[in-house]
Amino acid sequence: MQGIKREKKITVKFFLNEAVEPVTGEGKKKYYPLYVQVTYDRKNMQFKSKYGEHYSSLEEVKPALMQFEERVIKNIISYEANKEKGEYNLKGLKRKYEVYSISILEVLEGYLKPKLRLAILKTGNELTNVLNFNDHSATTWLLYEAARLLFKNLEESLSEKLTLELQAYHQYQMLQRPMLNYNFPTIIEWTNGSYKGELEKKLMIKFKTKPQVIRDIKALIDQSVKEKTKELEV
């Protein structure tokens, strides 16, 4: 009788990379970037933390940040290993981490902002130049609200699909907690299905009499994630 295949151990450790040029602060104090060392199936890989910054000691790093990134990395490896029938190695993990660790809100912004910008340009109004689409704090919804005030004919430039997507985005945005707590959902949690179930429960409570709203929000996230993860196919 063939034995049950054991799941391979994943180890994630954080360290300050003192091999790179530090950032110098007051009193010439040196600050180094936060890095991650991942061990899987007796193979190691190191790469820079996506959400960490520069620190003078590891004690300065928020535990919640490390717990969050460790969870994301383990989810990625488990998902990839399952997809590869257990034959997964760490090759390409750094690139996958950069994509899979993106928050759902960020991926929605990246999907909708360019579409909204093109629609606004169609108005032909010179005031389009006052809207800063490169400002991270200028969310898609804020830009949309500003554009509605500036351009009376904006709705004529929006396709029916984009109008529905913007509404779905706004309804989803209002459900989310601040990202500073490192408790936000990422692409990997949508891809492996764990966040889909969690979101479904929230949506059923909030929009139980509006099933179409629930479908629109899920379809928007699905499409946004699909577009972003295409980068991993290159």
What digits encode the pLDDT tens for the residues 100-124? Answer: 999 999 999 999 999 999 999 888 8
Among residues 60, 89, 118, which one ends one of the domains? 89
Say whether both 205 and 181 belong to one domain.
yes
Q: Does residue 1 form part of some domain? A: no
CB 38 within 8 A of CB 97: no
Q: Domain count of the chain?
A: 2
Residue 104 has a pLDDT of 95
Q: Assess whether 46 and 145 both reside in one domain.
A: no
The verdict on 119 and 67 lying in the same domain is: no
pLDDT of residue 130: 85
In-domain check, residue 97: no
- Per DSSP, the three-state class of 102 is coil
Sorted by sequence, the CB contacts under 8 Å of residue 33 that are 6+ apart come out as 16, 17, 20, 48, 49, 52, 53, 54
Alpha carbons 51 and 68: distance in angstroms, whole number = 10
pLDDT, tens digit only, all 234 positions of the chain: 444 456 788 999 999 999 999 898 777 889 999 999 999 988 999 999 999 999 999 999 999 999 999 999 999 999 998 887 767 889 899 999 999 999 999 999 999 999 999 999 888 888 888 888 888 889 999 999 999 999 888 888 899 999 999 999 999 988 876 656 788 999 999 999 999 999 999 999 999 899 999 999 999 999 999 999 999 986
Domain of residue 142: give its range: 104-233
For residue range 59-89, list pLDDT tens digits in order.
999 999 999 999 999 999 999 988 877 678 8
Does residue 207 share a domain with residue 152? yes
Check residue 124 and give left, alpha or beta (phi > 0: left; psi -120 to 50: alpha). Answer: left
Whole-prediction pTM = 0.89
Residue 177 is predicted with a pLDDT of 63
Domain boundary among 89, 119, 143: 89
Domain membership of residue 209 (yes or no) is yes
